Structure 1
Amino acid sequence: MKRKFLSIAAIYLVSICFFIINVINNFPVVASLLYLIVIVMSSTFFNELLSSNIYVALILGMHCIGCLVIDYTCIDVGIYLFSLTAVLLFSYFKTLHKIKEERVAVERNQFQKIRFKNMMDAIFILEESSLRIVDCNDKALSLLNRKDGCIGKCIKECISSNIMDSIDLDNLEKYFEEGNEEIKVLGKKCNDFWIDMRIKRFHVEERRYLLLCISDITRHKKNEEEIEYLAYHDTLTNLPNRRYGDEKLQLAIKNTLKKKNMMSIMFVDVDEFKMVNDLLGHAAGDRLLQEVARRLQESVRKDDLVVRLGGDEFMIILENICFADEVIGIANRVIETFSQRFRVKGRSLSITCSIGIAVLPHHGTDVETLLEHADVAMYEAKRNGRNNFMIFNHELRDESLIGGTII
């Protein structure tokens, strides 16, 4: 850059010498007009002179031509003044246009800076070689909670290691040279929030930089989790719903058959629930179901799953059963917890339940069969007076469902 300034200074020094020659020779017409053109170009395209040698060479060429024709031409004073006025007007309007363009460029540059600083995503500009942060916007500082700033620091110092470890920073150059345009890291947990991260490479002259964009997707992630929760849970009791229960039952059957173990499912139906709804209203019925759900969860083991199938029906999935007595013991605990009266809308209610039980592999090895047999056993428990449990029996089928024994 220093050489360019020196060369331009030398050209202008030569221009002054040419002007003096023109004055001595009474302003020859070609030399004088060419000189005026040089003035226009020098004032209008000065910025371009710093970035291109074409204009420098053009100026020098014009002056040389002017000197060569000095002896053969002369200029009238009126023509000279007219030419000078025309050139000055041209120079004025050209300069005015240039100023307007520069003003627009400045405004556009300021707009880009404001937009960069106020973008909703966190933006970092990094040196590729050192991963040092060259610039970042306000969202980046807010996201990382860095009040002291992070300009000049390595990105590894500012972002959690579990995020940066997901990117092979040592082989970024090789990655981009293989033709990849972007690195994406989606759905990563960073402290208390979730982020998407993208890295792109760009060049400024011969220097290489990385554009790191971090999007805070915490709200989106929470919405996804809420939607998923609603899709798999009952909103009244907060228990897993039938869809979730069916998926877990399929998985439990697969694992049990693989381990050659035992498991069981229970169908629990609240006796005379319709009467509670009719006498006390649906609000009371809902409150009763919530209390039933709570008691069922307290009656089972830690790893057992209680599912609301719909209405007043519930399902309990019991995995890792070693002996039939374990199933019977849990069924007795459920019936025992129903023996305590329920308080609903200021009233004390005596509520019982009927339970149907099916055991894998004795009563089936697939979802449909186990559900069907547990359902049959549950209705048999109701026909036998309610407030008890029945375990399905293959040999007796419809007529030989017995309580408390597995054959």
Structure 2
Amino acid sequence: MSSKQQQPKQRTFLTNAQKLQLKQFWSEHPDLQLLAVVDWVRERFGVSVGRATLYRIYHAPVEAFTGNAQQKKGRRVKFPELERDILAFYEENRRANESSGAALSDDALLRVAAEVRARHGIPETELKLSNGWLHRFKERHALSVALQAAGEETASAQAVTDNADATQTVSESGDSGKPKRKPRATRRRINGSVTNARVDNVDINGVFDCTETEVAAEADGGRAVEASAAIQETLVASSDVTVTPLGASLRPVTDSAPAVIRPLTYLSAISVDTVMSVGFVRWKLNSGMAHTKHFSVDNDGVAVLTNAMIQLNVELQHSALSTDRPPVIFKVWAGVELLSQCESSVRSKGDQALSVLQLECTLPAQTVIRVEYHGSGVVHGGSRLVLRLLNE
């Protein structure tokens, strides 16, 4: 046996951001030999990678590296369908509350994950939904989730302080002949900031403009915000609401209890093709969860099959509005009853614009919801309609 034992070769990896830089460099210098690229990687990133690794990066599409910029390896998850459903919930929640800036907390997302795990019949012994799992899940999908609500953080900080004070009191009441310990300093906790939102042009009759919600949130390092009262009101049942603009209930949340996460039931539909004014948008099913007993897509409408309180989100991508534009961009009908209408777009770029409407309403069974376009030009394919069940 040789006196010098061969050391195992240390594996090195490039992050997604570095791989994108490498592909950009390769596109600018397509005639370089592979060894020259190896030298460039060593000088640029300080690591040595094999030619086989470079070959795989060269032939991989750019989309493969556009996720988490710091991720190095694309590991396979044990339950991909479960992660897909949790990610779908996150994306729908983010899209539904994009204008208000409200975000899910870690605890809320973990509760949703537990709900989805039960739906898939996965035992807890097979998948433990810990904070470590949540951290890895967010890293895999490059997600950002809010911290605890300020009220929860304050209660936690108070509990820590009370425990420290009780420990100090017991220590001081002991035998005076025994040496006393130096009392520990109380732990300090920092409360998360609170979202302050303002909604413009809300009509008390239930018809409102879809102007963008202005959100002012304090950004300090890793601190974020807990879901605002808007999410709480969409998740907690309310029997006396008929039609309520979603943004009208946004208020700062300081000491309220955390939102109760109902079993997730939603339907997401996208528009099939372009629609000219005046006409009804045609829809097809895009995604959903546990919705078959409650919602169905019916060509130019989406049917509510049971008596239910719902949250409705409509996002229409359409032609940019002309100077002599009509007063109404689109209307939302429940059968022959007008639920609400959108009168202004939230975003316009070039020849395209985006108009958004969000509302809550209680509807009887077999109600068909239709979206009627009145704006200039056409509605583009890829517009979205999302129905979420709040209460039956």
TM-score (norm 1): 0.23
Which has the greater radius of gyration?
1
TM-score (norm 2): 0.24
Which protein has greater RCO, CA pairs closer than 8 Å, 6+ apart? 2
